[in-house]
Amino acid sequence: MYLKAALIRRGHAVAPEDIWGHDLSTLAEKLAAKDSRVPPTIGGQLQVFTDYFNELRYPCELVNVSGLGESEGGDPSIVEG
């Protein structure tokens, strides 16, 4: 949300042809292109969060995120049953 707010402040619009979706890497790269204070490598650094949130937002087999198992998530019957 803060990335979109920073881009809106710099003249972007929340629209499919401008800034849209939840890809933090893409939003961060657009912000880095507009603001020299934002490091150009920020998009790559945020990719891990994009992968994590995508797999939570769109439930499926975890491909890009590891470390979420029974010990971290609690009772597996809640998810399975």
Q: Report mean pLDDT in 10-residue bins for the chain, 81 residues.
A: 89 89 89 90 88 76 61 51 44
Residue among 34, 2, 30 at smallest CA distance from 18: 30
Q: Which pLDDT score, from 0 to 100, does residue 22 have? A: 85
pLDDT of residue 62: 64
Which pTM was predicted?
A: 0.63
* Residue 64: per-residue pLDDT: 64
The gap from C-alpha 15 to its chain's centroid, in whole angstroms, comes to 17
* Residue 41, helix vs strand vs coil: coil
Closest CA to 54 of 78, 22, 28: 22
- Supply the pLDDT for residue 55: 75
What is the pLDDT, as a whole number, of residue 5? 92
